[in-house]
Structure 1
Amino acid sequence: MSLGDGFDLVEIAKTKLNQRYVFGAVVPKTNPNWNGPWDCAEFVSWCVWQAYGAPMGMRPRNAWKGDAYSGFWFDDAKGEPGAAISWESALNIKGAVLVRRPLNKRIGHVAISLGDGEQTIEARSADRGVGIFKGASKRPWDIGVLIPGVDYATDDTSLTYVQTVRVRAPAGYHALQSPPQKGPDVLAIQTALAKAGYDPGPLDGVFGRLTDAAVITFQIASGLEVDGVVGPRTAEKLGLSTPIAPDAATTAAWEALSAPPAPPTPLLQPTPLGARTLTGFAVNGKDHTALYDDGSRQYIGTDVPYRDDAPRRGLYQDKKLTELRPIGVYRPEDYTAQHGQWAHVIHPTIFAESAGFFGRVNSYDRAAFTFGATQLAAHTPGENLILLFQELLRLKSAKDIFPELSLEDNKVTWTKPSGAKVDLEASKSVTRPNGKRDTQLVEFMAYLNPDPGAVGQQERLAAARLIEWTRVDPAARAAQVTLLVARVKKLIDRVRSHPSFDKKDWPAAIWIADIQYQGRGRLDAIRLALDSPKPVEALSRIGSSYEGRRKTIGESIAKLKASGVLNGFTV
């Protein structure tokens, strides 16, 4: 029995012309009187339900509570309850649905074909709303969809049903696809995004996932169609021509990027401390290992995927921490001569951060690079890892481990092979892929980890150098400890004047420092806990979702009490 024909879907869609678009809007599919706001997938799914009673493109497949998404439309099209056809065929079938697959797992697009080869009706963007649009044949689509049980009027005897598709952007358009688009035109897009304050990842001329995330964030902020595709309107908003014509500087930069690499040079020179020379890297599965001239090897990390505000890849060391033991594990007694009982006060936080391993590296999240027993992150101006580099570069061993880095005007400076100098402490305000503004050490992050989407040579080299430095020079380990002692004292000082704070209550002080160091609670919550009848117990409950961390700190404090090493200590 027929559910109806393709004309029914188009007529229902036309009743919603000129209504408002809101990215991410959720629509009650069973409400026939809904008048917006819409987003693209919700609009088409609502129209299909109203026309045919078919729960298409939503999960769960229930019109009362289903959430519509372009990815669900793509999945439905590959089998029941939908039938995938070529998008070229769908353009000539009235009431067929056009789908752009969300390769980045976030953003695609869905529209209804008017059957004339060019026009669609769709909820398109914040500045256009719901409307009828021309030029569909020049926009990127992946598949067409025919709703099972619906009669479609077509004379297309070459109607092609498809099982697999490969994403391709039309000529003059740029989008995430496989293999990725590359060239000076992509570099021009990345440069324009960066200039506008949207971080596209490394300026490498490759349209990857971070560039895709930046395009989407820019489109949302600009009220454009949110599809991750740089077409004429997005290019215009970025100040680019259509087709994109890179200027001479951008073309020259791309030629330099794509030039054959220079012959390899020694990665590390032997140091007066007796350090071995790094000769290269080995990759076994996802594990990365540094190779040395004496035949020794050092595990530096495992390649892992990660998603926070964008899809990323980087090094993680969780499963092979024991291989870092020869580099050093924090023992408070090694540092009491310099820091007294404070060496014990910081022990719970060090153990919670890194299990005490001085050579621990993580480079998978938005910080780009995190290092050490205290897990210092690279992205924060004026604190964390940049402060450690300041201290390390004052050591005699610095010229042997990081010969291209120096302190100039007390700032960490990188001298490139060309002789150009880069201030790695320069901060920049950027718009992250989730739309939030953040101030970051962009140059420092790029120096340590230039490609957040893959584990690369520079990332491995930075990790190997820091691990080696920590192994051979006790002063490099001591610098981590000194920085944390100073940081913990400052964190405790924030509540020192609070009337309910007892300077002899060192367990409370440890909780106060760790809560702030991890960032799981605000000062007002800490003060409120201090005013409670049982402050230590109240402090231990702050950040309830971090159960593992809170358990680790609690158990460490219990061991300190049992040992008596902090008896009588006053913070």
Structure 2
Amino acid sequence: MAFDFSITSSVLSNGKTAYNGQLLNSTESKFTFAFRTTYLDNFGLYNISVNNNLVYKPEDYVQKNKFWAYFIYPTVMAESKGSFLCLNTYDRAKFTFTFMQYAAHVPNGDFVKFFKKLLALPKAKDYFPKLVLQNNQIFYRNSTGILSPLESNTSSQALMDYLNPTLTEVDQQELICAARFVHWASNDPEHRKIQVETAIVMYKENMKEYHERFGLHGAPAKVCQMICDIRHQGRGKNDRIALALNTNGNYEKAFSNLCTIGSANYQTRITTVRNTINKLVTEGKFSKVYDAQSGEFV
């Protein structure tokens, strides 16, 4: 049976508007799923809450994913402090969710791939009963049963508009979709597992691409991770990365160079990534190098 949520709001002592959801026809308590915010001329929601029970810990996923569980961790910490509930709906992506902040505006991008995996789960019919996954494409089914595509190889605009119809105000559809995502991630370990699997598949594929561009066979994990984070955030282009790597094989210098890319605007993020990497190195969990033939760290 499809889940329905009642949505209420309250103004906190600090002046913020909090949105609460409650699953109807259940004994569950209300849960806060988002806060109202503004960005430029936009209005939207955000959730950056960190709940220890709903935070990514590499150790929980290392048995299946091995070193990759650690490899994504610095980016995870920079994006969300590990929160599986991280949400924003106020920028041009219109809807961003997960511990890696997958964004809906990219056709066949990380959010679209992630959402398709979610819609293949049994619980998808409870949370998004009007969405249908057919031939690996997301469709909306209206009251007469007609299917309309929400995304394609060239556009995800219809999906963005379904999740968040407008940036000029916080509307009911946006609230309902946000509540659904937060509740689902909070209550279903399969949802959180897909967040993790999507990130690891993405970084594995990215590493193959980056090796082709930069020649990363034998490069230390920390150099590779910083490249992945630069590209994931978009704070630097390939030419700038290639210049940073041009050190005649001195990877310590290359890593130091990479840490300067985007520092004028993103120093806090770079510090988070670098400190997380250094912590993993100190713990003996980040000593591997990239093997281009196998596409793995060894």
Displacement of 1:420: 2.6
CA separation of 1:290 and 1:325: change in aligned 2, threshold 3 A: farther
Conserved? CA contact 1:495–1:527, under 8 Å: no
Determine the C-alpha separation between the residues in 1 that align with 2:197 and 2:116: 13
> What one-letter code is carried by the residue in structure 2 that aligns with 1:547?
Q
Q: 2:65 maps to which residue? A: 339
Q: CA deviation at 1:282?
A: 1.1
- CA separation of 1:357/1:499 partners in 2, compared to 1, >3 Å: closer, same or farther? closer
- The reply to whether residue 538 of structure 1 matches residue 257 of structure 2 is yes
Residues 496 and 503, structure 1, Cα contact 8 Å, conserved in 2: no
Quickly say closer, same or farther: Cα 1:297–1:548, change in 2 above 3 A: same
Shift of residue 444, structure 1, vs aligned partner: 0.3
Confirm or deny that 1:462 pairs with 2:195: no
Shift of 1:297: 1.3
Q: If the length of structure 2 is used for normalisation, what is the TM-score?
A: 0.88
* CA distance in 2: counterparts of 1:374 and 1:295, whole angstroms: 28
Distance 1:295 1:491, change over 3 A: closer
Give, in angstroms, the shift of residue 476 of structure 1. Answer: 1.1
Q: Mark the runs of 5 or more structure 2 residues left unpaired by the alignment.
A: 12-16, 291-296
- 8 Å Cα contact 2:104-2:156 kept in structure 1: yes
Higher helix share: 2
What is the 5 A alignment of 1:555-570?
555-570=275-290
Q: Given the alignment of the two structures, is residue 290 of structure 1 paired with residue 21 of structure 2, yes or no? A: yes
User: Counterpart in 1 of 2:14?
Assistant: none
Q: Tell whether 2:223 aligns with 1:508.
A: yes
| Structure 1 counterpart of 2:208 | 493
The one of 28, 36, 46 equivalent to 1:316 is 46
Query: Against the structure 1 CA distance between its residues 498 and 369, is the aligned structure 2 distance closer, same or farther, given a 3 Å change threshold?
Result: closer
Residues 47, 85 of structure 2: 8 Å contact kept:
no
SS in 2 for 1:281: strand
Separation (CA, whole Å) in 2 of partners of 1:335 and 1:520: 28
Specify whether residues 420 and 305 from structure 1 end up closer, same or farther in structure 2 by C-alpha distance, changes over 3 A only.
same
Which residue is equivalent to 2:267?
A: 547
Q: Aligned with 1:368: secondary structure?
A: coil
Of 175, 191, 194 in structure 2, the residue corresponding to residue 476 of structure 1 is 191
> Which amino acid in the other structure matches residue 106 of structure 2?
T
After the TM superposition, which residues 76-475 of structure 1 pair with which residues of structure 2 at under 5 Å, given as runs?
A: 268-269=2-3, 278-285=4-11, 286-292=17-23, 293-307=26-40, 311-318=41-48, 321-322=49-50, 324-326=51-53, 328-426=54-152, 440-475=155-190
Tell me by how many angstroms 1:471 deviates. Answer: 1.9
Q: How far off is 1:502 after superposition?
A: 4.8
Q: Is the 1:357–1:372 Cα contact (8 Å) retained in structure 2?
A: yes
Higher relative contact order (CA 8 A, sep 6+): 2
What residue ranges of structure 1 are gaps of 5+ in the alignment? Answer: 1-265, 270-277, 429-439
Aligned to 2:293: none
Partner of 1:147: none
- Contact 2:19–2:34 (CA under 8 A) maintained in structure 1: yes
- For residue 503 of structure 1, report the CA deviation from its aligned partner: 2.5
The answer to whether the 8 Å contact 1:343/1:485 transfers is: yes
Q: Normalising to structure 1: TM-score of the pair?
A: 0.47
For the residues of structure 2 that align with 1:508 and 1:557, how far apart are their CA atoms?
A: 10
Q: Which amino acid in structure 1 is aligned with residue 254 of structure 2? A: P
Deviations 1:234-290 (A, max 9, x none): xxxxxxxxxxxxxxxxxxxxxxxxxxxxxxxx9x43xxxxxxxx4401100211111
Distance 1:490 1:301 in 2: 32
**Aligned 8 A contact 2:105 2:160 in 1:** yes
TM-superposed CA distance for 1:557, in Å, is: 0.6
Work out whether residues 450 and 458 of structure 1, in 8 Å CA contact, stay in contact via their aligned partners in 2.
yes
Distance 2:153 2:88 in 1: 22
Letter in 2 for 1:317: N
State the secondary structure of the residue aligned to 2:210. Answer: coil
Larger Rg: 1
Percent identity (aligned): 33
| Matched residue SS, 2:227 | helix
- CA deviation string 1:164-220 (max 9, x = no partner): xxxxxxxxxxxxxxxxxxxxxxxxxxxxxxxxxxxxxxxxxxxxxxxxxxxxxxxxx
User: SS state of the match for residue 453, structure 1?
Assistant: coil
Pairwise CA RMSD: 1.9
State the shift of 1:295 in Å: 4.7
CA separation in 1, counterparts of 2:286 and 2:231? 21
